Amino acid sequence: MKYLIFTFSILGLFSCSDTPGHIGGNPKNQQYATFKFSEKASVINKNDPYNWCNANYGEAVMVSADPKNFSRRLFLLRDKPCRVAVDYSHQTASFILKNSGDHIEIFTSDNLPTCLSNKANFQISPERTSFLYNNKMNINIEIQLQELPNGLQIALTLPPDSGHGLTVLPCETCN
């Protein structure tokens, strides 16, 4: 019995310890990577090699929930462009994020009108470290940049208790 009490005392001590400060919370962008809309020309021809709508997308990127904010999802931005799709009911918000050095390019309907969401639904913050997507129907999300020692992390905040789905796919053949 005394061993059982000792074991529960130790477990209680660990369960009451603080979460490490670098996990969760508000994302920080210390080296000032910023979002910008891509200026690449629009591609409609489905046979064009720059039409990423029909590109070969790899396995989904690991997406995790922020332990301090269950409505926020976190994923590392890869070297390859990543297609982000947020689903709700029969609607999908779809855009591509591409790491271009100091900027993260956002590809929208201006670049790939046959498969990406309307640019009019996007609004980049004045600091350019976050952007909002609002389709004026049921999908309203915020995307923020967070710089980590091993790369850039994207923090995507969904409405609380919303039932939205999220898929992030890296494009293996996109240049």
Q: Report yes or no on whether pTM surpasses 0.75.
A: yes
Q: Where are the domains of the chain?
A: 31-170
Give the sign of the dihedral formed by CA 110, CA 81, CA 78, CA 82.
positive
State the Cα–Cα distance between residues 76 and 148, nearest whole angstrom: 9
Instruction: Output the tens digit of pLDDT for each of the chain's 175 residues.
Output: 454 444 444 434 333 333 334 445 555 555 568 999 999 999 988 888 888 998 888 899 999 999 999 899 999 998 899 999 999 989 999 999 999 888 999 999 999 999 999 999 999 999 999 999 999 998 999 999 988 887 889 999 999 888 899 999 999 888 7
